[in-house]
Amino acid sequence: MKKTSHRLADGREIIYYDLRDDVTREAVDHRPLPPAQAHSEIRHDPLLDDWVGVTAHRNVRTYHPPADECPLCPSREGRMSEIPEPGYDVAVFENRFPSFAGEPGLENAADAAPGEPGLFRNRPGAGRCEVVAFTADHNASFADLSEEQARLVLDVWTDRTAELARHPGVEQVYVFENRGEEIGVTLPHPHGQIYGYPFTTPRTARMLRSVADHAGISGQPGGDNLFDDLVARELADGERVVIDGEHWTAFVPYAAHWPYEVHLYPKPRVPDLLALDEPARAEFPGIYLELLRRFDRLFGTEEPRTPYIAAWHQAPFPKGRGRAGRTALREEFALHLELFTIRRAPGKLKFLAGSESGMNVFINDVPPEQAARRLREVAS
């Protein structure tokens, strides 16, 4: 893999990742863009103990452009895009409308009296948001990639995780792909995103608490590992296993939230993409591409390609107060990919309505065992 870094006209970084070492990337972005500016703030919700991003600048982001104006296609025939080169294997660039950007700053208490903790707290939304263009082919999908191309994307995800983890404002790196207008995708070109959050996300924090509680260790490493026990139980039951490879296992979880939801775990447990060994990296493309292609076959050829979200769950990279204890606990986390669709049947979507959105209580219309059986039936 060859990595080449340049700057776009407004100062944002763009990085090309190529399969061949002899490729040269020298194209210049000549667009008349003003310097990139993004103001992101995070505010603390004291009732839920959550941080919420406030990003007014994202209201003007690009929305459903026509195919001949796609910002993720290569720059060709005099039309300049976000990617100045006339072709590329994988391109990564800083999001023009990021949810998080900049360096960390001091936390503020908006309503605090002298000497009192503030109920309303906020601080700069430090971090970094990147776009990952998987291929120059506008009409392709991740499932159309070759295993060599999919392996390159895995290596890119790993490299970007390492880079963002070193950012002083980033505590968690989230790699994900949204596909399909039903999911809310505004650019159809095959791409994913990477968020460098300035905090540990609520879902990850909840997982870590469950891991600690399961082992009865109050946040200290040792004892039984919840992730290991969960995967072992799924393999022993077998009914919800979709693919069991030498280095990866994929299954529909016992309490799946979504109509068709698969969790993909490496063997053995590792905390993040950086810790994957070469055998796991080599096997991943074949298994992941097979899963994506099965998702596309779930509802037959009458339906458009299945909308989905693919989300990598990685251990956070603790910074600041309490770092030592949280760093020890991160080794108990298990890297895994969550792949799910909101389509529950041909022509029918699963909407997050009153119970899910109001109370965070999911109601799943498709039994997990039935979903796993269907995903085995549509194997290549």
Asked if residue 183 has pLDDT above 50, the reply is yes
Computed on alpha carbons and rounded to an integer, the radius of gyration of the chain in Å comes to: 21
- Give me the phi and psi of 282, to 5 degrees please: -70, -35
129 is in an annotated binding site: no
Mean pLDDT calculated for residue range 202-231: 83
300 pLDDT tier (thresholds 50, 70, 90): confident
- Banded pLDDT at 109 (limits 50, 70, 90): low
Give the CA distances from residue 280 to residues 80, 262, 273, 321, in Å, rounded to whole numbers and listed in that order. 38, 18, 10, 34
The pLDDT of residue 107 is above 90 = no
CATH of 128-380, one of 3.40.640.10, 3.30.930.10, 2.40.128.720, 3.30.428.10: 3.30.428.10
73 has binding-site annotation: yes
Sequence-separated (6 or more) residues with CB below 8 Å from residue 177: 142, 191, 192, 193, 308, 309, 310
Least confident piece of the model among 8-12, 39-43, 217-221: 217-221
**pLDDT > 70 fraction of the chain, expressed in percent and rounded:** 91
Active-site annotation, residues: 191
Cα separation values, 343 from 139, 147, 178, 320, Å: 21, 27, 14, 41
Angle at 233 between CA 230 and CA 239, to 5 degrees: 120
Please list the residues that pair with 217 across neighbouring strands.
none
Q: How far apart are CA 183 and CA 179, in angstroms?
A: 6
**Residues 334, 309: contact at Cβ < 8 Å?**
no
- Find out whether the peptide bond into 268 is cis, omega within 30 degrees of 0: yes
Q: Which helix (H) or strand (E) holds 124?
A: strand 121-124
Integer CA distances (angstroms), 99 to 27, 83, 107, 168, 227, in order: 28, 21, 18, 17, 30
Residue 60: Cβ-neighbour burial (10 angstroms; 0-12, 13-18, 19+): exposed
pLDDT in tens, 323-369: 656 677 899 999 999 999 999 999 899 999 999 999 999 999 999 99
Residues in the chain: 380
**Domain limits of the chain?**
1-37+70-85, 39-61+99-126, 128-380
Q: What is the pLDDT of residues 150-182, one digit of tens each?
A: 999 999 999 999 999 999 989 999 999 999 999
Residue 39 labeled ligand binder: no
Q: What is the pLDDT of residue 211?
A: 94
Query: Does residue 70 have a known ligand-binding role?
Result: yes
How many whole angstroms separate alpha carbon 175 and alpha carbon 248? Answer: 18
* Burial class for 283, CB neighbours closer than 10 Å (0-12, 13-18, 19+): middle
Give the three-class secondary structure for 313: strand
On average, the pLDDT of the chain sits at 91
219, pLDDT greater than 50: no
- Output the pLDDT for position 55: 86
Mean pLDDT of 239-249: 98
Least confident of 111-120, 214-223, 311-320, 333-342: 214-223
HSE, side-chain direction, 13 A CA sphere, residue 216: 2
**Burial per residue of 9-40, b for 16 or more beta-carbon CB atoms within 10 angstroms, e otherwise:** beebebbbbbeeeeeebebebeeeeeebebeb
Lowest mean pLDDT among 194-198, 229-233, 261-265, 348-352: 348-352
Please check the confidence at residue 204 and state whether its pLDDT lies above 80: yes
Q: What is the pLDDT of residue 223?
A: 59
Quote the percentage of the chain above a pLDDT of 90. Answer: 78
Q: Are 272 and 335 in contact (CB under 8 A)?
A: yes
Q: Which of 41-45, 141-145, 185-189 has the highest mean pLDDT?
A: 141-145
User: What confidence category does residue 378 fall into, taking pLDDT thresholds of 50, 70 and 90?
Assistant: very high
Burial of 332 (C-beta count, 10 Å sphere; 0-12/13-18/19+): buried
Residues 266, 253: Cα–Cα separation, whole Å = 15
Using pLDDT thresholds of 50, 70 and 90, give the confidence band for residue 216.
confident
Q: What is the DSSP letter of 155?
A: H
